[in-house]
Structure 1
């Protein structure tokens, strides 16, 4: 009997099995060690991953600082500050340099979502930089878009922290330190930067200087200061927790944290006292900006030192973990090795106590295998091996008894087998009328079954002969029918090929029509564009003529006012002329009195003569001025008449241009209708061509199907011919058997 409970251990000796048992027993001891070692290695890998993430996090925060500076300078430059533009260009260059630096290291960090977020930030930066360069945005809009860009940087920073697992650091001291330095402090810096911008705008407002800040500005500044204050308190709490868990951090980062928090609180107090709660704003804007700039820079300086402290803390954690891991590993390994040696010695002793009796029993079995049937084990022990020896002796006795019975039965069985073989030999000669003798031994059922097989085989072969004849007849009929179907398939194939050619020609014609319609559509669209340009030109001409008409009218008014002023000058000249006439008369009277006075009035006579000459000169001058004024009035009247004629011509030109514009509009509408009609034709022809292509494809499918049908029918005809031949061979093969004459 074959042993049916074999396994992997059946090939091992008992000593080897016990040794294996010792090894297996040490596995539960080694498993906790392995789990501890794996956990510590995983902790080291996580810490190393976090430490690697500090580099892109620091670069992202540097970009944040530069973008904040660029945001303020862009706002100032677009607001009209000439010095700010040069500084903005420098800030833009720094941002571009930081972006290029981040691009070099970004492929080394396969953080989920980082590539998409970084690409979105770069695209938005390029777009905003172009808008700022072209000055197409207002200052407030630039500030808003640049603030959105800052939020993109915060998104990148969050993805870096999540990808490097710093947002879920397992150690309390580094977790709180990361939250304070890399999460809260950048948010504080952004709140301070926004408060700096809003506060500077309020301080620059003349209205706010006298009446105080508006309610909206107060609310916004209050929100920003409250947010930075809350974040500062949370950061302080986080640092205190980190220091509590690891006191060595106090000398490294605690003092700098207190300074950064104090600066944030001072800026909040400055904004609250000088702007939010002040009735009149007197604080200098430049001092406000200087203090805030210093505060924001101090926040980023704290971030830099904080990142250095975090990196050093990661180094310390990795080193301490490795030291503790190796120490624990070697101590545990030594203990397990000692236990293993002791267990091996005990297993060796137990193995010898079992294997020695088994070796004796094996020796007895070897003697029996050599032909000594009288040998017996005779083991006197009462353990399992003793019971095995006694059972072995009983098995040997029974084996001898059974062997004698088997020898007598073999003779009888051999005679029956010889008779059965003779019957089988006759059946092998295709004589199915032969029957075997049914004995009462073990060969009886075999003989009976052989006789039944001969009967059933004879019946089956008789049916096979009949079926073979029927198959031959049907095969010939199928052969004739296949020939007819093949002829029909050949005709159908030719018709399908002709239809496919005609559909292909029709499809090509529809495609040509679609191309012509598309070309007409493009030409019509181009005509619409040219008409639109001509219409815009006419409208521009009308606007230019209207401007000229308004200018001429204004000139006409000014010339009329000039004429009025010249008339006033004429009145003044007449007045001066009257004064000159009177002065002349007075001079004559004075000359007459001076002459009557004699020698005493000679000096007065000289003065009277000079006055008379002056009066004559004044009269001559007034005559010339009057003549010039009259000429100016005449020229002014002629100019006004000419301008009126020009205005009339301009009005007529305006009417003609407007009529031309209306006709252009009608032409454009007509062309647009034409484009719509051509577009419909193009779409219809395109759809028709697509339908024709589908019909061609279907015709080709039908053609291929008909070819395949024809080929299959050809193959079927060949198989039918073969079937006829096989039926003939089947009838011939069955004919070689000798069958009974009557089979009931």
Structure 2
């Protein structure tokens, strides 16, 4: 019983060593994949939400600028009820959009404490964004108050400049925040790549160390058992040759107990072998014993030494106990070797499943690369389209400026025509006044002619009274009468002409007044047209600015798509490296399995009894039965968690880039 109890030492050490190697291999593999997955996903949940927040802010700013354009447009149309309602509606929508931006800024300032390298830099960027937003909102309040009070867009240039300045500062601050986030992402990706490389080197070193440790342990156990057996076999060979030299005790395990018992038996043999009969009997027992030992030296442990009643029976009994203990030890060693082989095959299957998962992940990563490249191509097309839109906006702006210039020239021409018509109207009125004066003079001349005719008639009467003496005066009076009649006729003609001129002058004056009214109306229409073209020019400028911002966003989206493609390429390289490490680990497991098979082949040289072989087979079958559920559970519970679908991960972290 003492030998059996002591024999547990080597079996326990072998089992502990095998379990330790298996535990170390599984722990290293699990820890490595856990660290790999944690490091690969480390930068995703921390910085991606902050990056999405910056793009959401840009999208809301672009949306608010559209409402701002409509608000300014309806503010310039007038004070009609429908225009006023549209103005108030777009103003409320613009304020609601900017309030949403304020909510995003609060969330952005509240979270993400690990987004930047220092707290001071993060606080500085957050304060810049908040100050820019507050300045923009203050300018917007002043602008909105003036426009809602009835002023047009052309009358609030100062308030609009303050609002535009705050908006530009907010946009630049958000862009600076996004640049810092992208720099942090790049730094984390570089750190992840360096960490992956270090983990790869450590994993290869640990795997090589485990393999070397397993080989050394196998060689150590094999040499330890072989050296102890060689010592025992040397002692038995000495007994076969008649040399009763004791076996040296060099260890403290069960072989030492066997050697001590064997030496004690030799001491008993030395003290009791005295007579020839005892020597002959002893020689026969020794011969029989040596035959059994000879068979045992060839590996047959099924034979047992015959136990006699003399002193040599103690040796035979001790030998039988030694053989039984050695058979039990070999059985345990066989079971442990089978366990090592089974665990190695089990580990090899795990690495194979992991390799299949890595290959599957590599395929998904390749699909993600194709999708990302298609996205990058679409982003390039969007950038080209936005560039064409920007060129069209520039052409519209130039045409609007040209139309505005020509309308201004038309307004100046209308003003000149209106002034000229007014001058002509004044001249015509002055001409009418002069014609009235001429009519007055003509009437005076007509009155003088009438009086002259009367005087000529009186002179003619007086000449008739004078007789012959007044005949010459009668001729003169007739001539004076004739001249008076001609003067009267001339004055009548002049009066008709003056009336005709006055009538035409009045008609011309009325026509000029109508033309003046028409010119003033056309001038008012031209001025309204100029104001409308100015509003169109302002809206075109804003549209051009919005198109420019969209172009910048498209370029930024294209850059992010290129960075995404590069990141996915890095993930592909990491996955390929992981697959290579798994292949290396699989080769190590195959080497461990080969060591186990070699050990089993070495142990196969020994032949055990039927009961012991049956016990070993039962133990091996029990090991296979215990190992089968584990092989079924690993692909379903562990491998699916380790090799998750990369497309789902990619959807969870993709930033929402505004269109």
Say yes or no: TM over 0.5.
no
Q: If the length of structure 1 is used for normalisation, what is the TM-score? A: 0.30
Q: If the length of structure 2 is used for normalisation, what is the TM-score? A: 0.33
